[in-house]
Structure 1
C-alpha cells in the first residue's frame, strides 16, 4: 500500500518542505553509511557521529523552519493552530532526534543501552502517529 503525499502530510503533520529536507538528509546519510560499510571510511572515535551529522543537520533545519512557521502563524492571529502545530512538530522532532542520538551513541560504543531502549522513542512516535491518523478520519 503506497500512501499519497496528501495522506503523509496529514498523518505526519509535516509540510512538503520538511519531508524534502528529511529525504535529502537521509540520502546523504545513506551515501556516508555505504562508504563506511564498504571501504571502512570514517574509522575512529567520531566515525558514527560524522555519518549521522546530515540527519542532525536536517533536524536542526526542520526545527528552524517550524519556528518560522510558528512566528508567522502567530502574526496572522491563528494562535490555537500555531500552538498545536508547534507542539506536534517539536514532539515529532524531539522523539526522532532522541532516537538518532541514542542509536549513534550505541553504535559508537559510548552507551550500554539495549536496542529496545534505543528504539523506545520510535515506539512512542508510532503510537502518536496512530492516534493522529485516527483523529483525522
Structure 2
C-alpha cells in the first residue's frame, strides 16, 4: 500500500520541504554507509559520526525551518495552531535525533546500551504517529 503525498503530510505533520530535506540526507547517508562498510574506500577507517553527519545536518535544518514556520504563524495570529505544530515537530525531531545519537554511539562502541533501548525512541514515535493518524480520520 503506497500512501499519497497528502496522507504523508497529514500523518507525519511534515511539509513537503522537510520531507525533501530528509530524503536528500538519507541518500547521502546511504552512499556514505556503503563507503564505510566497504573497507577498500576512503571511509573505511573513519568513525560512524562522519557517516551519520548528513542526518544530523538534516535535523538541524528541519529544526530551523520549524522555528521559521512557528514565528510566521505566530505573527499571522494563528497562535494555537502554531504552538501545536511546533510542539509536534519538536517532539518528532527530538525522538528521531535521540535515536540517531544513540545508534551512532552504539555502533561506535561508546555505549553499553542494548539495541532495544536504542530503538525505544522509534517505538514511542510510531505510537504517536498511530494516535495522530487515528485523530485525523
Using the TM superposition, give the Cα deviation of residue 47 of structure 1 relative to its aligned residue in structure 2, in angstroms.
1.2
Cα deviations by residue, 1:42-63 (Å, 9 ceiling, x for unpaired) = 344x510000000000000000
Matches within 5 A, 1:40-119: 41-44=42-45, 47-119=47-119
Contact residue 22 and residue 58 of structure 1 kept, 8 A: yes
Unpaired segments of 5 or more residues in structure 1?
A: none
| TM-score (norm: length of structure 1) | 0.97
Distance in 2 of aligned mates of 1:111 and 1:42: 22
Using the TM superposition, give the Cα deviation of residue 26 of structure 1 relative to its aligned residue in structure 2, in angstroms.
0.3
- Cα RMSD of the aligned pairs, angstroms, is 1.0
Contact residue 42 and residue 48 of structure 1 kept, 8 A: no
Unpaired segments of 5 or more residues in structure 2?
A: none
Partner of 1:26: 26
| TM-score (norm: length of structure 2) | 0.97
Contact residue 13 and residue 89 of structure 2 kept, 8 A: yes
Contact residue 29 and residue 55 of structure 1 kept, 8 A: yes
Distance in 2 of aligned mates of 1:35 and 1:7: 34
Between the two proteins, the alignment pairs up a number of residues equal to 136
Report the more deviating stretch, 31-40 or 79-88: 31-40
Using the TM superposition, give the Cα deviation of residue 89 of structure 1 relative to its aligned residue in structure 2, in angstroms.
0.1
Which ranges of 4 or more aligned residues in structure 1 deviate by more than 2 Å?
A: 39-44
Distance in 2 of aligned mates of 1:23 and 1:136: 25
